[in-house]
Amino acid sequence: MFNRRMQKLGEERSVIRELFEYGNRRKAEIGAENVFDFSLGNPNIPAPAAVNGEISRLLQNTPADLLHGYSSAQGLYEARTAIAAYIRKKFGAPAEPDLIYVTCGAAASLTVTLNALCEEGDEFIVLAPFFPEYRIFVENAGGKLVAVPTNSAFHPDLAALEQAITPHTKAVIVNSPNNPTGAVYTEEEMRALAALLEKKSKEYGAPVLLISDEPYRELCYGAEPPYLPNLYQNTVVCYSWSKALSLAGERIGYIFIPPTCANAQALFYAVCGAGRSLGFVCAPVLFQRVVAACAGQTSDIAEYKKNRDLLYGALTEYGYECTPPDGAFYLFVKSPEPSAASFCERAKRHELLLVPSESFGVEGYVRISYCVARSVIERSLPAFRALIKEYRK
């Protein structure tokens, strides 16, 4: 009667959403201040003043048909020109507006890219732990998701990757700064990955692409991640402003294909075709105009760093094990018992809402999303302390 696969996807519900809704019910029962919800990656720092200023300016000064009307399917030429200029200036990469496709956020950037690339039998490699939606996006595009473990610091394991790449590998997806671990891959690691992909592409006579999923690019607390198109020419960048400008609900991002990419123009047509077939055309026009004016600005990211320092410092002091995260707004903490799901249930009894790691493709960890008010972290600390004490009895 219906598409069973879609029905199942809808019924399954994400563990993260489920927790978030549980948190809302619990807040209604015992008061919002008594529930410590670390489930969602929803930015809590306000968008920069320039964003709201630009929205007001546009509302007052733009004719109605230009403000709320359609843009071309791939986005306003002015927006794509501004994005290309920003990429050229910031990263020195040869960006052109004609190879930029404006999207409804990184989810759309990825879905459109995967549909543009995927042919029968194609495999897409992700590094575990990984953003759970990758599996859904890859499989819906008709591809096979191949998860390759990372090393003990959650950085790429080149030897494992080399083993996993086959003539069926269409692309490797990397996400740095990373959800859920907060790892930021170094230039040296990415150069080594680029060299591996060059070698494999030569061996198979067809490029193995790199998809750089970058919603957290600006959220890094040490060295910035390298710009992958500068290291590997067959890179497709899937960007969004959801986190950098705290605009997650406005759905705005882009796909950038460097002109150096093999068959760049044909790939761009495939992106346009995929966008068309999925209905992801003409991203929200008001926000196309906003980001054109605000590209390069960010919310006050120093606030996330303060949250990270407070939470990481306290949790490690109490005895939790965690690799220090260099970016994004997540801590990936080792569960003190083998089953992360059962640890999360126990955490719930302390009103702590943590995400178990199984849906990220690894076992035995929890993700703590620290894009929350500082006061939530401060009030949650006694609960974290009491929780770990239960494992010491």
Handedness of CA 83, 89, 90, 93 (dihedral sign): positive
| Residues 212-251 contacting ligand PLP, CB under 6 A | 213, 215, 240, 242, 248
Contact in structure between 369 and 377 (CB atoms under 8 Å)? no
Closer to ligand PLP by CB, 234 or 246: give it: 246
Residue 112 has which token pair? 């459109």
Residue 109 Cβ, how far from ligand PLP at the closest point, in Å? 7
Residue 199 Cβ, how far from ligand PLP at the closest point, in Å? 27
Q: Does 106 bind ligand PLP (CB under 6 A)?
A: yes
Name which position in 131, 137, 154, 280 contacts ligand PLP (CB under 6 A). Answer: 131
Name which position in 23, 43, 75, 105 contacts ligand PLP (CB under 6 A). Answer: 105
Q: Does 325 bind ligand PLP (CB under 6 A)?
A: no
Residue 75 Cβ, how far from ligand PLP at the closest point, in Å? 15
Residue 335 Cβ, how far from ligand PLP at the closest point, in Å? 21
Q: Which stretch binds ligand PLP (CB under 6 A): 102-110, 140-148, 262-270, 374-382?
A: 102-110
Residue 104 has which token pair? 């409804």
Closer to ligand PLP by CB, 336 or 361: give it: 361
Closer to ligand PLP by CB, 79 or 264: give it: 79
Q: Does 175 bind ligand PLP (CB under 6 A)?
A: yes
Name which position in 15, 55, 107, 219 contacts ligand PLP (CB under 6 A). Answer: 107
Q: Which residue is nearest to ligand PLP (CB)?
A: 105
Closer to ligand PLP by CB, 253 or 327: give it: 253
Residue 240 Cβ, how far from ligand PLP at the closest point, in Å? 3
Name which position in 43, 129, 156, 253 contacts ligand PLP (CB under 6 A). Answer: 253
List residues near ligand PLP by CB under 6 A.
41, 105-107, 131, 175, 179, 213, 215, 240, 242, 248, 253
